Structure 1
Amino acid sequence: MSPETVFGRGFKLLDSSFVKENLCAIVVDESHCIVKWGQNSDRLKAFRSEYGRLAELRSMVPSQIPVVALTATSTIATRKNILTSLTMTQPALITLSPDRKNIKYSVMDVPESDTSCIFAELCNELKRDGRQTARTIIFARSHNQCSDLYKSFKKKINDVNLFAMFHLTTEDCRKEEVLKSFGDENGSIRVLFATMAFGMGVNCRGVRRVYHLGPPEDIEDYVQESGRVGRDGEDSHAVLILFKGWNRCKVSPKMKEYVKNEEICRRKFLMETFEEDDRTSCKIIPHSCCDICAQKCECRVDDAHTIPFKYCDTVQSQSQHMTTCRDVSDEEREVLLDQLLLLRGEVLARVSGAGYTLAGADVTSGIPISEVEALVKNCDKIDSLSTLCNRFSFFGHEEEIWIVLEDTLPPSQTSQSIALQELHPTVIDDIIDTDESDTNDEYAEAVLMSDAESDN
């Protein structure tokens, strides 16, 4: 029974003589929910506060009745929190590593925010292969993302039995159909668009790929949701997709570290939050471990470096592939970072304190720290305002940031001609038509005209 039921009509049941005489244990399944849902945070009240009250049950039953807490994914810190919340002072701990050796972890960055474009190739695969498509789950961060994906697939695929949605407001009868299909390895549903509602207690069979459209809130959620694949021990893949604007969602610092990491084995990074000692197997073939290890693998296996996700570049995204256009020193990058952080502070000062309290500095300012760091890292490849807008998400402050970038860094190879083209396209056309001997004079005159007009 749920915590809400326990502290509702279940309260009288626990107080009955029959229960007191026959009760053999109090078992709390999915006990990590005590921490995730049952406790207040600095800014928000508990989502399901009754989870945080479960320790009260101990006062209603004889002291010799044992308490058992079960969870499949809890970090070291979460385990300690659970024990404290349930007042378990001398517990017998039985722990197993959540490390699943048959899952390969990867992170992929796509310069796109349109979900129909991101998963266009998967849609084509499902249309072509039908029920032979490898079973796939796409975890989205919102109902809207699930709905958008479902609609885009429905436009191209006639057999709607091949894909489905599962989120909090999905009708119960539809949820039952999805759960029944996923309980059968050969079930008709081959692609599922889901939120975290498709989680605890779900029996998934034959799932080969899990895609996360943006990172979940924390490492625990990611390990639990990616654990839907490969439950039969067969090789499977968990791919985290970073789309344009992913950093607008609430993500823990540790989860941000995971997606930014380019050096440490992803499996090792994930498991160190769950294990007090390093039990991560070193016997896994590198190309089967994660995308980072695959880059270091010396095997000659054909697919050693491939990620089981095909992204179909649109015309827009192809224009976002960046090449070096200016030389930038480390000192200049540091100055750029300082100037961008200064701008961020100025923007925050312009907005109300209430917005800052409710949304956080990244969302309120529209200048996320992660985007600032990415921009500084790739500043030598930003040759125009359009490139900056297409590649980074600064939510209305692109022009201000472009000005900071231009004022701080040495000019790019194309910035002068691009700026002139944007200001005076007809002048450029005239220059092209002039005699070659007059080109320099005409160009100088055009620049002077541009400067004079801007002064006026």
Structure 2
Amino acid sequence: MKMLVSLSSSIYQSKMASYEKVVQLFKVELKDKQKEILDSILGKRHTLAVLPTGYGKSLPYQMFVPAMRERLGEREETPKVVVCCPLVALMEDQVNRLNGVAGLRVEYKGNSAEGDERIKAGDVDIIFASPEALVGDPQWRSYIQKLNVGLLVIDEFHTIATWGGDETDEEEVVFRRWFRHVGEFRTLHPSATVLALSATCTTKIKNRVMKVMCLKSSDINFVSVSPDKPNIKLCVKKIDHDIASAMYWLVSAGNSSILPKILIYCKSIADVANVFHYLHSELDNKSQIEMFHSETPSEKKKFIIEQLSRSDSEVKIIVATSALGMGIDIACCHSVILYGPPTSIVDFVQELGRVGRDGQPSSAIILYSSQHKRRVDKDVRQFLDSKDCRRRNLLSHFLEELTNCIQNDSHVCCDICEVKCNCGRCEKTELETLLEINECVECEDVVEDSDTDTDLYYNEDELSDDGFYASLDDMGI
């Protein structure tokens, strides 16, 4: 018995020593869930992890290679990590971060001819690539099949369902059909461990992803943290359809005071252009505003992402489609405006979670018109029409195990809870102060809502957006 205890203690000490070396390499402290994920994948256990935006979902797979080197030493070749990634902007951000880690060789397919050759030669530890390259390109399939791959990461796995479409959809109508075939990669490396990561996961998406990846519930270690971001107050305001009446208050604020950093998400490139040009023409300081979408030149994208990572950025307003933000670190930003809510609840939570990553009080203001409302799904419309706590309504659509820790309603929860709050200590965020959002709910109670539950309709020109109709060339695919 003493021998078993001694052996167990030795293994534990060895494991902790390995952790310490890897943590020192990355200069971070691992959170409990990050440790759980790293332990799981090092133990060759397939893992599905749902962690909030800004939590650090990527860190476990980034640590996989150096942790395996510590375990294997010189005995065996360290297995490689292949990350199936949906957007080039996300790949660039991850590669730029990891290039500063000593001894770690990182590249993404399509970055450069030299980088592609290093991947083919097996000289890269962590390889980022799109589903179109991993399973849709026969040549690249053959190159990667020859490599010693120990871990397959599906980053932002919800895109399997949202971009790959439902299994009943015809391939010709889905946004990016190769997302529904990512599971084929497992036939190339059947012994590789699967790690699927996302900030959002409904029951439907979980079932879809597990089916695509050919996984059973018994095969999966499910690691989760509630998607609730209690520091982000949810506010809704109905607006007229014209941009001037929806955004005049932002112009007044920008021309009279110091603006906080604000992200404005739009549903289409057309909306981004219209909102940007209105604000740019009205704001005195033109350098305060930029726009970001799939057709934005690469150098401009890099500039904006760099500005977003700085707390002292001179750029204060970024008008963007969903191409901006998925997995990108956005520093010191506590204000987001959704000009027209995303089509689905999953995209909704993704965009809301791109602010307040430091835990500081933040606000998300959803501006919507009758036309916007007709183009969203039933769940989003229920959120907009909610007469009770918006946070509870939003989280009710997610897995039960993710939503059972919602706190009691309070004024910091949403605009509806604030109206019902009698604490006398309510404080508004910077963005709320600018918009005077406290009048929102009372106004909506008075104004007759002409919206109906008629069938949704879509104008493809208006929705040629990175969320569903993005340019594949721009993504590097």
8 A contact 2:232–2:364 mirrored in 1:
yes
Q: Name which of 227, 231, 240 aligns with 2:353.
A: 227
8 A contact 1:294–1:304 mirrored in 2:
no
User: Over aligned residues, Cα RMSD in angstroms?
Assistant: 3.1
For residues 298 and 80 of structure 1, the distance between their equivalents in structure 2, rounded to whole angstroms, comes to 42
List alignment gaps of at least 5 residues for structure 2: 1-128, 437-443, 460-477
8 A contact 2:236–2:367 mirrored in 1:
yes
**Match of 1:439?**
none
Amino acid at match of 1:254: D
User: So what's the TM-score if we normalise by structure 1?
Assistant: 0.64
**Alpha-carbon offset, residue 275 of structure 1:** 3.0
For residues 429 and 422 of structure 2, the distance between their equivalents in structure 1, rounded to whole angstroms, comes to 10
List alignment gaps of at least 5 residues for structure 1: 313-319, 325-335, 345-359, 365-456
Change beyond 3 A, Cα 1:245–1:323: closer
**Match of 1:3?**
131
**Match of 2:382?**
257
**Alpha-carbon offset, residue 141 of structure 1:** 1.3
Deviations 1:350-371 (CA, angstroms, capped at 9, x unpaired): xxxxxxxxxx56579xxxxxxx
Counterpart secondary structure, 2:153: strand
Q: Name which of 188, 206, 230 aligns with 1:60.
A: 188
Change beyond 3 A, Cα 1:362–1:154: closer
**Match of 1:118?**
246
**Match of 1:200?**
326
Change beyond 3 A, Cα 1:207–1:10: same
Which residues of 2 match residues 338-357 of structure 1 at below 5 A? Answer: none
For residues 242 and 107 of structure 1, the distance between their equivalents in structure 2, rounded to whole angstroms, comes to 8
For residues 151 and 297 of structure 2, the distance between their equivalents in structure 1, rounded to whole angstroms, comes to 34
Q: Name which of 418, 428, 432 aligns with 1:294.
A: 418
**Alpha-carbon offset, residue 121 of structure 1:** 1.3
1:91 aligns with 2:216: no
**Alpha-carbon offset, residue 50 of structure 1:** 1.1
**Match of 2:24?**
none
**Alpha-carbon offset, residue 283 of structure 1:** 5.0
Q: Name which of 104, 120, 124 aligns with 2:233.
A: 104
Aligned residues with identical type, % of pairs: 25
Deviations 1:306-363 (CA, angstroms, capped at 9, x unpaired): 9716559xxxxxxx99789xxxxxxxxxxx99xx99xx9xxxxxxxxxxxxxxx5657
For residues 188 and 273 of structure 2, the distance between their equivalents in structure 1, rounded to whole angstroms, comes to 45
**Alpha-carbon offset, residue 140 of structure 1:** 1.0
Higher RCO structure (Cα 8 Å, ≥6 apart)? 2
**Alpha-carbon offset, residue 280 of structure 1:** 3.4
**Alpha-carbon offset, residue 244 of structure 1:** 4.3
8 A contact 1:26–1:66 mirrored in 2:
yes
Amino acid at match of 2:371: G
**Alpha-carbon offset, residue 5 of structure 1:** 1.3
For residues 155 and 206 of structure 1, the distance between their equivalents in structure 2, rounded to whole angstroms, comes to 26
**Match of 1:75?**
202
Which residues of 2 match residues 53-452 of structure 1 at below 5 A? Answer: 53-61=181-189, 63-89=190-216, 90-110=219-239, 112-129=240-257, 132-249=258-375, 251-263=376-388, 265-277=389-401, 278-282=403-407, 286-301=410-425, 303=427, 308=432, 310=434
Amino acid at match of 1:269: N
Amino acid at match of 1:71: S
**Alpha-carbon offset, residue 67 of structure 1:** 1.4
**Match of 1:425?**
none
Amino acid at match of 2:336: V
**Match of 2:143?**
13
Task: Count residues in correspondence.
Answer: 318
For residues 296 and 362 of structure 1, the distance between their equivalents in structure 2, rounded to whole angstroms, comes to 35
**Alpha-carbon offset, residue 158 of structure 1:** 4.0
For residues 253 and 457 of structure 2, the distance between their equivalents in structure 1, rounded to whole angstroms, comes to 37
For residues 70 and 363 of structure 1, the distance between their equivalents in structure 2, rounded to whole angstroms, comes to 30
User: So what's the TM-score if we normalise by structure 2?
Assistant: 0.61
Change beyond 3 A, Cα 1:115–1:303: same
For residues 80 and 135 of structure 1, the distance between their equivalents in structure 2, rounded to whole angstroms, comes to 38
For residues 227 and 298 of structure 1, the distance between their equivalents in structure 2, rounded to whole angstroms, comes to 28
8 A contact 1:271–1:280 mirrored in 2:
no
**Alpha-carbon offset, residue 170 of structure 1:** 1.0
For residues 133 and 390 of structure 2, the distance between their equivalents in structure 1, rounded to whole angstroms, comes to 40
Change beyond 3 A, Cα 1:156–1:77: same
8 A contact 1:291–1:305 mirrored in 2:
no
For residues 14 and 254 of structure 1, the distance between their equivalents in structure 2, rounded to whole angstroms, comes to 40
**Alpha-carbon offset, residue 26 of structure 1:** 1.2
Amino acid at match of 2:131: P
For residues 192 and 168 of structure 1, the distance between their equivalents in structure 2, rounded to whole angstroms, comes to 14
Greater alpha carbon shift after TM alignment, 274-283 vs 253-262 = 274-283
Deviations 1:365-396 (CA, angstroms, capped at 9, x unpaired): xxxxxxxxxxxxxxxxxxxxxxxxxxxxxxxx
Counterpart secondary structure, 1:287: coil
8 A contact 1:287–1:304 mirrored in 2:
no
Counterpart secondary structure, 2:380: helix
8 A contact 1:97–1:274 mirrored in 2:
no
Which residues of 2 match residues 38-49 of structure 1 at below 5 A? Answer: 38-39=164-165, 42=169, 45-49=173-177
For residues 245 and 259 of structure 1, the distance between their equivalents in structure 2, rounded to whole angstroms, comes to 13
8 A contact 1:29–1:70 mirrored in 2:
yes
**Match of 1:25?**
151
**Match of 1:398?**
none
For residues 196 and 92 of structure 1, the distance between their equivalents in structure 2, rounded to whole angstroms, comes to 30
Larger radius of gyration: 1
For residues 429 and 357 of structure 2, the distance between their equivalents in structure 1, rounded to whole angstroms, comes to 23
For residues 57 and 33 of structure 1, the distance between their equivalents in structure 2, rounded to whole angstroms, comes to 16
Change beyond 3 A, Cα 1:154–1:91: same
**Alpha-carbon offset, residue 192 of structure 1:** 1.0
**Match of 2:52?**
none
**Match of 2:44?**
none
| Larger fraction in strand | 2
Amino acid at match of 1:292: I
8 A contact 2:412–2:418 mirrored in 1:
yes
